[in-house]
């Protein structure tokens, strides 16, 4: 039994919206949350964690991350995935989707195999919940830091063997011959996401409204921007209730752009991601992404030609930045890294909130969103 006391707990209210709760003690029985109790009812043999007035929230979920700690999903290596999992846990993440690149298809399959094997034999650190395929079904015009020679047309025959691993696929809707591929993905429980796309507003709105694509990959980046006469993909993201990823590192999106997304979406249907690469956690210097050389200086990672590559941000840092930039209430921000992604992955019955019966994946952090403890499956994995 694990008991957490003296916390500012972030929990759902009767409407499901996250709010603060300061009374009571959170009890965990094994890998599951038991619920709240009075301090006098803490079992004598319980391990007691004193949150010391800090925030206590569900463990963060990171649905778009290429790498960190010198490792990358495309290494197709279980040890590399474990290094990523360990650093994720240190930054408050308890579950994540290793994300593939637009590489040669056999390389993507090798990476997916490593993810599958790791899911079947969990390693130390944050749990791997599946994989996010960023490409190769994207637009050459908006390839960003993806390798154009590996871009190809969407073909579900390629994806079908990995349907039990892949949870999200990023694609450009205008590159589809028809929406059969999307229908097959949805039937398999795979979330299709709009990203790396040169589509216009009307094409994007059709994809969302008529074909049920309710996710946008790193809004603002690698997509047609907003103009008052041509709203583009960004306009469609604002104008629908689809979930929108955003890299809140002040590099990939200006603070004002973060505020605009927050207000356009009414504070809902937003998913904070890191989109980090292997250089995350290593500091300045050369690195690599999808076989391409990357240079890191401070918060900025670029290819040789100056194209912005993935980020070097951590999830707790993104939470802090988005909180500062938007002025939103913290419980609402926490929904963006817990409840919202869990719901989209059809995992909210099992994780994503501090409710009885759910997984005891918990993070304790302070006003600076410095992580003090990360609990995974009812056991303290990380403490500062």
- Residue corresponding to tokens 């907003």: 226
- Residue corresponding to tokens 């008529």: 210
DSSP string, 235-287: HHHHTS--EEEEE-SSSSS-HHHHHHHHHHTTT-SEEEE--B-TTTTT-SEEE
For CA atoms 72, 217, 253, 242, the dihedral sign is negative
249 is catalytic: no
Which residue(s) pair with 124 in the sheet?
none
CA neighbor of 99 nearest in space, from 199, 224, 233, 191: 191
Cβ neighbours of residue 19 closer than 8 Å, sequence gap 6 or more: 10, 11, 12, 13, 331
CA neighbor of 182 nearest in space, from 137, 152, 220: 137
Inter-residue contact 246 to 253 (CB < 8 Å): yes
CA gap 18, 331 in Å, rounded:
5
Rg for the chain, CA atoms, rounded: 20
Which residue(s) pair with 363 in the sheet?
57, 374
Active-site annotation holder among 72, 75, 249, 275: 275
Cβ neighbours of residue 327 closer than 8 Å, sequence gap 6 or more: none
Which residue(s) pair with 237 in the sheet?
none
CA gap 156, 241 in Å, rounded:
26
Cβ neighbours of residue 239 closer than 8 Å, sequence gap 6 or more: 205, 231, 264
Inter-residue contact 58 to 268 (CB < 8 Å): no
327: left (phi over 0), alpha (psi -120 to 50) or beta: left
CA neighbor of 164 nearest in space, from 123, 115, 202: 115
CA gap 323, 255 in Å, rounded:
10
Cite the active site residues. Answer: 275
């Amino acid at each position: 039994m694990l008991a957490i006391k003296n916390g500012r707990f972030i929990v759902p209210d009767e409407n499901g919206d996250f709010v603060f709760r300061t009374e009571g003690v959170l009890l965990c029985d094994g890998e599951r949350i038991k619920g709240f109790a009075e301090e006098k009812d803490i079992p004598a043999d319980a391990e007691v964690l004193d949150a010391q007035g800090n925030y206590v929230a569900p463990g963060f979920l990171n649905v778009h991350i290429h790498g960190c700690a010198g490792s990358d999903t495309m290494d197709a290596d279980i040890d590399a995935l474990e290094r990523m999992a360990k650093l994720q846990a240190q930054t408050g993440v308890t579950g994540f989707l290793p994300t593939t690149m637009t590489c040669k298809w056999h390389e993507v399959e090798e990476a997916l195999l490593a993810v599958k094997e790791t899911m079947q034999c969990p390693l130390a650190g944050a749990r791997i919940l599946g994989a996010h395929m960023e490409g190769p079904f994207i637009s050459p015009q908006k390839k960003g830091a993806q390798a154009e020679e590996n871009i190809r047309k969407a073909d579900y025959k390629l994806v079908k063997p990995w349907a039990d691993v892949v949870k999200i696929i990023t694609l450009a809707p205008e590159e589809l011959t028809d929406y059969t591929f999307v229908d097959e993905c949805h039937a398999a429980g795979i979330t299709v996401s709009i990203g790396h796309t040169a589509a216009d507003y009307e094409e994007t709105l059709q994809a969302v409204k008529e074909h049920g694509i309710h996710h946008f990959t790193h809004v603002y980046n690698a997509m047609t921007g907003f103009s008052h006469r041509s709203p583009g993909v960004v306009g469609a993201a604002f104008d629908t209730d689809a979930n929108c990823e955003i890299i809140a590192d002040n590099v990939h999106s200006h603070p004002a752009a973060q505020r605009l997304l927050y207000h356009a979406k009414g504070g809902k249907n937003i998913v904070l991601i890191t989109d980090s690469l292997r250089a995350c956690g290593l500091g300045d210097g050369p690195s690599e992404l999808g076989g391409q050389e990357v240079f890191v200086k401070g918060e900025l990672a670029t290819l040789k030609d100056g194209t912005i590559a993935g980020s070097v941000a951590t999830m707790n840092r993104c939470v802090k930045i988005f909180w500062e930039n938007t002025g939103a209430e913290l419980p609402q921000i926490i929904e963006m890294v817990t409840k919202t992604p869990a719901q989209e992955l059809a995992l909210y019955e099992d994780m994503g909130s501090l409710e009885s019966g759910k997984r005891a994946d918990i993070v304790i952090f302070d006003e600076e969103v410095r992580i003090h403890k990360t609990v995974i499956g009812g056991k303290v994995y990380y403490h500062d």
